[in-house]
Amino acid sequence: MKSQLTEELYQLGFLCGFELEIYIRDTGKFTSLIIEGNRKGGDVLYRYDFYKQTFYPYYPNKVTVYGENMSASLLLNRVKQYLANRERYLADQ
């Protein structure tokens, strides 16, 4: 059974690498949105980092961080906000 977070991220176009730990959505030929979840020590809940990584063929990779150490609900809000802004930006091009 998939977690609620995995279901919601799937609806937003993310693929699940490991349940609650890694999600990826490609946004271009060399660019991906990445979500990493981790638990520290005896924590029950995961905390999430959300960033964009660009894998240039002949240049150093570029990472843009959109949030660190976020709860699942804050993560979802941040991802939805990013995607809405991206859609608006692409529509204006």
pLDDT, tens only, 30-49: 999 999 999 988 888 999 99
Question: 52: how many CB neighbours lie within 10 A of its CB?
Answer: 18
- Looking at residue 37, its amino acid is G
The Cα 30–Cα 55 span in angstroms is: 5
Give the dihedral sign, CA 91/64/67/45: positive
The confidence score (pLDDT) of residue 72 equals 96
Residue 1 has pLDDT above 80, yes or no: no
The confidence score (pLDDT) of residue 40 equals 85
- Looking at residue 65, its amino acid is V
Assign 2 a pLDDT band (cuts: 50, 70, 90). Answer: confident
Helix (H) or strand (E) holding 62: strand 62-70
The confidence score (pLDDT) of residue 36 equals 98
